Amino acid sequence: MMDVYMQLVLMILGSLVSQREPLRVFGEEKKIVQISAGYNHSCAITVDGELYMWGKNTSGQLGLGKRAPNIVPLPTKVEYLDGINIKMAALGSEHTVAISDGGEAFSWGMGVSGRLGHGHESSILGFFSSSSEYTPRLIKDLEGIKVKYVAAGLLSSACTDENGSVLVFGERGIENLRLKEMSDVTRPSLITELPYSKEVACGGYHTCVLTNSGELYTWGSNENGCLGIGSSDVIHLPEQVQGPFLKSSVSQVSCGWKHTAAISEGRVFTWGWGGSNGTFSEDGHSSSGQLGHGSDVDYISPTRVCFGEDVKALQVSCGFNHTGAILEYT
């Protein structure tokens, strides 16, 4: 987790005014240690463990209560978490998951597909009867488990605990797995087929797990080759991503909607959807080029992004259809 003790400069992605240049969101009065962005909402965590959120709030994803407006253009403290020191937050399309310094896990926002982990049941027609949580709610099934890392995707969420175990919840996160011990997609389910794990990332319909030894495992729909296994076949069990990672360990992974990025020995690798055949390409919403290989074609195996030999990647992050990296010139 990167310490941004300096004045934080963020792009406000509000629906009221479109900003084409970075704007300062926090000044010197707040020291920020972590930021995260979802599809239409953002958050920042202060050095004191306070959580501030802003952006779209139509499903309660900001955790500000049921009476909060649908659009919150300025960072607003989540008062419902007063007295709780927030360590990390992950933002999905319309939901948020956060953990405290004591390892408690909270979630709020859109509850459809079971992505919040609260056991929302579906109706006889197959729709989930409970829609949204407008304030942070403790994930009861994770009580007694010290959660260390959380991730939020389009329709699913995941976390790792202090023992290196991986738990997933949500429709696409579990439905893509054929594990006999999993029966309820709306509650956290343990994946026993993985080695000791430290980090997890959720995309649109795929999930990646980084083990303590630097191995990368993945599963899911594999649209446009986003799993990086050399094919576009759907994978229902965690499978190790090989290629260049057989010779060098992975230190970080991030998932976009249908593309993935990872860092190995200071080098950035990307794969999956290049943009040319994206769902939104026809109406002008596909950015193309999110893999950074100079084209908009898909890559089904991890492929290195060329920045030069004197560059070391420190962090990489995937958005819906774009990618960013922090680089150090050596």
Instruction: Single out the residue in 192, 223, 244 at which a domain terminates.
Output: 192
Q: With 60 as the cut, is the pLDDT of residue 2 above it?
A: no
pLDDT of residue 179: 55
Token readout for 92 is: 């999905």
Q: Which of 177, 153, 161 is nearest to 103 (CA)?
A: 161
Strand order in the sheet with 32-37: 32-37, 41-46, 51-56, 71-77
Same domain membership, residue 272 and residue 157: no
Same domain, 7 and 101: yes
- In this predicted model, which residue has the larger pLDDT, 203 or 112? 203
pLDDT of 49: 97
What is the model's pLDDT at position 330?
A: 84
Residue 118: is its pLDDT beyond 60? yes
Domain boundary residue, one of 147, 167, 192: 192
Residue by residue, DSSP assigns 138-155 as E-GGGTTS-EEEEEE-SS
Same domain, 203 and 153: no
**What pLDDT, on the 0 to 100 scale, is given for residue 24?**
80
Residues 51 and 90 in one domain: yes
Is 203 in the same domain as 248? yes
Q: In the predicted model, is pLDDT for residue 129 greater than 80?
A: no
Which of 168, 192, 216 delimits the end of a domain? 192
SS3 53: strand
Give the pLDDT confidence score for residue 29 in this predicted structure.
Answer: 76
- C-beta separation of 225 from 233 below 8 A: no
128 pLDDT higher than 50: no
Cα(292)–Cα(289) distance, integer angstroms: 6
The total number of structural domains that make up the chain: 2
Q: Model confidence over 220-254: pLDDT tens digits?
A: 999 999 999 999 998 888 999 999 999 999 999 99
Q: Do 14 and 57 form a contact (C-beta atoms < 8 A)? A: no
Buried-exposed string 292-322: b where 16+ CB fall within 10 A, e elsewhere: bbeebebbbbbbebebeeebebebbbbbbbe
Residue-number span of the structural domain to which 97 is assigned: 1-192
From CA 223, how far away is CA 34, in angstroms rounded? 30
User: Are residues 225 and 253 both part of a single domain?
Assistant: yes
261: which residues sit within 8 A by CB, 6+ positions away?
253, 254, 268, 269, 270, 316, 317, 318, 323, 325
Query: How high is the pLDDT of residue 124?
Result: 41
Where would I find the H helices in the chain?
171-175
Average pLDDT of the chain to the nearest whole number: 86
Do residue 179 and residue 242 come from a single domain? Answer: no
CATH code of the domain in which 310 resides:
2.130.10.30
Q: What is the pLDDT of residue 175?
A: 54
Q: How many CB atoms lie within 10 A of CB 8?
A: 18
pLDDT at 285: 54
223 lies in the same domain as 318: yes
Q: Who wins on pLDDT, 180 or 88?
A: 88
Mapped onto helix, strand or coil, the DSSP state of residue 77 is: strand
Burial class (CB in 10 A: 0-12, 13-18, 19+), 107: buried
The pLDDT-based confidence of 11 (bands split at 50, 70, 90) is: very low
Phi-psi region of 47 (alpha: psi -120 to 50; beta: other; left: phi over 0): alpha
Amino acid residing at 279: T
More confident call, 282 vs 200: 200
Is the same domain home to 160 and 282? no
Question: In this prediction, what percent of the chain has a pLDDT beyond 70?
Answer: 83
88 has pLDDT over 50:
yes
Looking at the structure, do residues 163 and 149 belong to the same domain, yes or no? yes
Comparison of pLDDT for 62 and 185, the residue scoring more: 62
The pTM of this model reads: 0.87
Phi, psi of 59 (to 5 degrees): -115, 15
Which residues, in sequence order, are CB contacts of 83 under 8 Å at separation 6+?
none
Percent of the chain with pLDDT over 90: 68
Say if residue 123's pLDDT is above 50.
Answer: no
For 284-327, what is each residue's pLDDT tens digit?
555 578 999 998 899 999 999 999 889 999 999 999 888 999 99
Domain match, 11 and 85 both = yes
The confidence score (pLDDT) of residue 120 equals: 63
Domain co-membership, 203 together with 219: yes
Predicted pLDDT at 65: 96
Q: Return the ∠ at Cα 187 (arms to 224 and 129), rounded to 5°.
A: 90
Residue 177 has pLDDT above 90, yes or no: no
Query: Pick the residue with more confidence: 131 or 215?
Result: 215
